[in-house]
Amino acid sequence: MKHIKSTIAGIVALTAFGAQAQSYNQDENIDDAGFYVGGNYGYLRVDGDDEFDDDKDVWQGVAGYRFNEYFALEGSYIDFGDYGNDLANAETDGFTAGLKGTYPITERFSIFGKLGQLWSETEYNVGTVNNDYDDESVFVGGGVSYAVNERFLITAEYTVYDSSMDAEDAVEDIDDTEFNTDLKQASLGVEYRF
């Protein structure tokens, strides 16, 4: 819970700073084509978990290019951190590429959706066996953004990654060792447009 409070406090401080630094001017068009960068911090929920856990952090660095106010091509590096228990645990990170569609609701608020591909590597421990597994999976997500000013936005999003793991080396006596595991990310972030 303390992570959530500190994250919210940080975003509020950034919002106040952005508002002081430059007021929003609707005459300036933030919808022009161009590059943007950003970052997200949030929590991870793995299939089988009942709720998001403060111990499962997700960090994501984002870069993209907006073709217009509605469509963008976006890539990221994402670190899902550690998850699991004492008997079996894993650590996953990877890269994403996808399309982002945005629809403005007001001058400052927009909704967006994402669809793309995740290329990930999972290092897992099952009992005394350690191994790693490379995966390619699709993801889908959506969220809202708030324009503090012409260049600086705050975002909130929820994304589901349809990943799998083949633990054949760890449990050779089980016929089906490929496990489907959805990774669910809920995060807050920032975006800066050039």
CATH number at residue 86: 2.40.160.20
Q: What is the mean pLDDT of the chain?
A: 78
User: In this predicted structure, what is the pLDDT of residue 83?
Assistant: 74
Retrieve residue 119's tokens: 């290329």
In which element (H, E) is residue 29 found? none
From CA 72, how far away is CA 101, in angstroms rounded? 7
Q: 172 pLDDT exceeds 70?
A: no
Domain of residue 100, residue span: 2-193
Percent of the chain with pLDDT over 90: 45
Write down the residue that tokens 């001017």 correspond to: 25
Q: 174 pLDDT exceeds 80?
A: no
The domain tally of the chain equals 1
Alpha-carbon separation of residue 169 from 87, 124, 137, 176, 178 (angstroms): 16, 11, 21, 12, 11
Q: With the C-alpha atoms ordered 146, 148, 153, 154, is the resulting torsion angle positive or negative?
A: negative
Highest-confidence range of 45-54, 69-78, 164-173, by mean pLDDT?
A: 69-78
User: In this predicted structure, what is the pLDDT of residue 194?
Assistant: 93
Q: What would the mean pLDDT of 175-179 be, rounded to a whole number?
A: 47
Quickly state the pLDDT bin for 141 (edges 50, 70, 90): very high
Q: 91 pLDDT exceeds 80?
A: yes
